Structure 1
Amino acid sequence: MSPRAFVTLGMFIIDQFSFQDEHGQPTGRTLAPQAECLPYSGGGTYATIGARLWLPAQEIGMVVDKGSDFPEDMENTLIAYGEDMWLFRNQPGLGTTQALNSYKGDHRGFQYLTPRIRITPCDLKGTLLERPKTLHFICSPSRAAVIMSEVQEFGNWSPVAIYEPIPDRCIPAELPALLEVLPFINILSPNAEEALSLLSLSVPVSRRSVENACSRFLDLGVGPEGSGWVIIRSGALGAFVASRKRPGEWIDAFWVDGTHVVDVTGAGNGFLGGLAAGMVLTDGDVFKAAFYATVSASYIIEQQGLPELSRTATEELWNGDSPGQRLAKLTEMHVRKEETRGIRG
Structure 2
Amino acid sequence: MANTKTFVTLGMFIIDEFSYTDPDGNAIKASTSEIGGGGTYSAIGARIWLPAEQVGMIIDKGYDFPPEIESKLKIYGDEMWFFRPQEKARTTRALNLYTSDHRGFEYLTPRIRITPKDLACTTLDRPKMLHFICSPTRASVILSEVQEIESWNPLTIYEPIPDSCVPEQLDALIRVLSSVDILSPNAEEAQSLLSIPMIKPSEKPPIEEAAQRLLELGTKSTVIIRSGGLGAYVLTRERGGKWIDAFWSENEVSKIVDVTGAGNSFLGGLSAGLHLGNGDVYEAAIYATVSASFVIEQSGLPAITQSDNSSASMQWNHDSPLRRLEVLKNRHRTE
TM-score range, shorter chain: over 0.9
The aligned counterpart of 1:19 is 20
2:323 is aligned to 325
Query: What secondary structure, in the 3-state scheme, does the structure 2 residue paired with 1:30 have?
Result: strand
SS in 2 for 1:32: strand
Q: Which residue of 1 aligns with 2:35?
A: 35
Query: How far does residue 103 in structure 1 lie from its aligned partner after superposition?
Result: 1.1
Matched, 1:231 2:224: yes
Matched, 1:5 2:6: yes
- Asked whether the 8 Å contact 2:62–2:87 carries over to 1, the reply is yes
1:275-303 superposed Cα distances (whole Å, 9 cap, x missing partner): 00000001111111000000000001000
Unpaired runs of at least 5, structure 2 = none
1:341 matched to which residue of 2? none
**1:93 CA displacement:** 2.1
**Alignment-derived partner of residue 88 in structure 1:** 83
In 1, the alpha carbon distance for the partners of 2:107 and 2:215 equals: 34
TM-score between the two structures when normalised by the length of structure 1: 0.93
Q: For 2:110 and 2:217, locate their aligned partners in 1 and report how far apart those are by CA, in whole Å.
A: 36
Give the C-alpha shift of residue 143 in structure 1: 0.5
Q: Is the 8 A contact 2:188 2:198 kept in 1?
A: no
What amino acid maps onto 1:289 in structure 2?
Answer: A
Distance (whole Å) between structure 2 residues aligned to residue 22 and residue 32 of structure 1: 19
> 1:35 Cα deviation (Å)?
1.6
- Tell me the distance in 2 between the aligned counterparts of 1:203 and 1:53: 33
1:220 is aligned to 217
1:78 maps to amino acid: L
Give the aligned residue type for 2:90. Answer: G
The Cα shift of 1:10 comes to 1.0
Paired residue for 1:175? Answer: 170
Q: Contact 1:22–1:106 at 8 Å: present in 2 too?
A: no
Q: Alpha-carbon deviation of 1:68?
A: 1.0
Alpha-carbon shift at residue 2 of structure 1 (Å): 2.8
Distance 1:124 1:312, change over 3 A: closer
Q: Does 1:153 align with 2:148?
A: yes
Q: What secondary structure is seen at the aligned counterpart in 2 of 1:249?
A: strand
Task: Output one character per residue of 1:129-178: Cα deviation in whole Å (capped at 9) or x when no partner.
Answer: 01000000100011101000000010221111000010011000000000
Question: TM-score with structure 2 length normalisation?
Answer: 0.96
Written as runs of structure 1 = structure 2, the 5 A alignment for 1:88-127 is 88-127=83-122
Pair 1:255 & 2:248 matched: yes
Amino acid at match of 2:9: T
Instruction: Name the CA distance, whole Å, in 2 between partners of 1:293 and 1:332.
Output: 16
Pairing 1:271–2:266 present: yes
Distance apart, 1:269 and its partner CA: 0.5
In 1, are the aligned partners of 2:234 and 2:243 still within 8 Å (CA)? yes
Distance 2:258 2:89 in 1: 31
Task: Name 2:132's counterpart in structure 1.
Answer: 137
Q: Distance in 2 between matches of 1:117 and 1:192?
A: 28
Shift of 1:31: 4.0
User: Aligned partner of 2:35: which letter?
Assistant: A
Tell me the distance in 1 between the aligned counterparts of 2:158 and 2:210: 16
2:3 touches 2:123 (CA, 8 Å); kept in 1? no
1:312 deviation in Å?
A: 4.7
Following superposition, the deviation at residue 232 of structure 1 comes to 0.3
Among 300, 305, 311, the residue aligned to 1:310: 305
Gaps of 5+ in 1: 38-42, 338-345
Render the CA deviation track for 1:96-125: whole Å, top value 9, x for unaligned. Answer: 111111111111111111111100001101
- Paired position in structure 2 for 1:206: 203
8 Å contact from structure 2 (residues 46, 270) kept in 1: yes
Identity %: 56
